[in-house]
Chain A
Amino acid sequence: MSITTSGLVPFVFSALGMLAGHWLGRSTLLRPIEASAAAAELSVTRFELVDGQGRRTILMDTVDDRPSIWFFDKNGKARLNLGLYADDNAFIVLNDDRERAVQIFRTRGPESAPFLVMKSGGRDRIVMGLAGAAQDPFLVHFDPAGRKRTVFGSDR
C-alpha cells in the first residue's frame, strides 16, 4: 500500500502543478499588457477616434445594422460619411460645414448602378451615372433656376 501511495505522488503533484500553471497562464495576472495591446481581433459595435483634446474625429458605427464611418471637422460637424444604405448600396458623401450633402458617390437600385450627384443649397445640380434597363450612361445638370439640361443619355 505504501509503495502504491509513493508511486502516485509524482503523478498527483505533477498534475496539480500543471493545473495550477495552466490557470496562472490563462489568467490575466501574468499577461494583462499582451491581452490588451496585441489583440489579434477587436470586435465592437462602435469605435471612436479622438484628437489630443479628446474631441471625436472619426466615428465607426453600425446604426440600424448599417456600417458607417463619419469624419468630423474641428467644429464637430460631420464632413465625410461612407457606408452602406439600408438596401445595401454603398455610398460616399462629402458635406458642407452645415452637414448638408454636397457630393455623393453611390450605387443605386438592384443593379447597383453607379451614380455621382453634385448638389448646391440642398438641390441636385449635376447627376451622372448609368441608368435604365441597358444601364446606359447619362449626364444631366440643372441651371440655377432649376431647369434641367441633358448633356447626353437619360437618367430614367
Chain B
Amino acid sequence: MRGAGLRSALVFLAAGLLVGLLLTLKEGPRAPSGPAPARRVARELTISRPGSPARILFGASAEGTPAMWMSNGPGRGTLQAGVHGNGFPFVLVSDAAVRSFGLGRVDGINASPILVYRSDDVVRLVFGLSMTEAGQPAFLVHYTGDGTRHEFLGRYCDDPGRVCTR
C-alpha cells in the first residue's frame, strides 16, 4: 500500500513537472533583465521585426569595409552608408536598382566633397569641390535630358575613368 502511494505521488510529481515545464517554455524568450551591458561586439548586426520586410543591416561590404544598409524590403529604395575600399566615405539614397540616386561622397587626391544626383542611370547634377584643380574651387554642373552639359559654376572633369580623381 505504501509502495502504491509512493508510485502515485511520483506520477503526480512527474506530470506536474512536465506541465510546468511546457507552460514556461511556451512563454518564449525572456527580455533581458537588469542594467544594459556596457559593450557588445559582433561581426554583423541585423535589426528587423518578425513579419516585417523592413531591415537595417550593419556589416562588411564586398570590399570588406564597414557599411550600413537600410530598406523597407526587396525591390524598395535603400539607404546605404559606409566606407569604400580606398577609405573614402559615402552616403547613398537610391531606388532598388541604384539607377536613380543622391550620393554624397569624398573622392580624389584632395579628398574633395562631391554630391551627385543621377536619374534613370544618367547623371544629371554634380556639385562639389574640384578633384583636379589646385585650390579645390567649387563647381556645379548639370545636364539636360538630352545630355547637354551646363557648367553653372566652375569646371568639372566628367571623364568616366579615374583620371578625374588624380
Contact = CB atoms under 8 A, between A and B. Distances in A.
A43 B38 CA distance: 9
Contacts of B32: 39, 41-43
A154 B129 CA distance: 20
B89 to A, nearest CB: 4
B48 to A, nearest CB: 11
A119 B12 contact: no
A14 B24 contact: no
A47 B66 CA distance: 14
Contacts of B112: 102, 120
B164 interface: no
Interface string B1-21: 000010011101111111111
Contacts, number: 218
Contact of A49 (B24, B37, B43, B105): B43
Contacts of A34: 29
A48 B42 CA distance: 6
A126 B128 contact: yes
A17 B13 contact: yes
A31 B25 CA distance: 9
A123 to B, nearest CB: 10
Interface in B65-115: 65-68, 81-83, 87-91, 104-106, 110-115
B115 A116 contact: yes
A44 B16 CA distance: 38
Nearest to B81: A80
A22 B23 contact: yes
A71 B89 contact: yes
A47 B87 contact: no
Interface of A is mostly: mixed
Contacts of B22: 21, 25
A73 interface: yes
Contacts of B21: 21-22, 24-25, 30
Nearest to A46: B39
A92 interface: yes
B106 A20 contact: no
Contacts of A51: 43, 60, 64, 66
A45 B29 CA distance: 22
Contacts of A119: 113
B79 to A, nearest CB: 11
B62 interface: no
Contact of A118 (B9, B24, B113): B113
8 contacts: A24-B21, A45-B36, A47-B41, A48-B42, A71-B66, A75-B87, A120-B136, A143-B135
Interface of B: 5, 8-10, 12-25, 27, 29-32, 36-45, 58-60, 64-68, 81-83, 87-91, 104-106, 110-115, 127-129, 134-138, 153
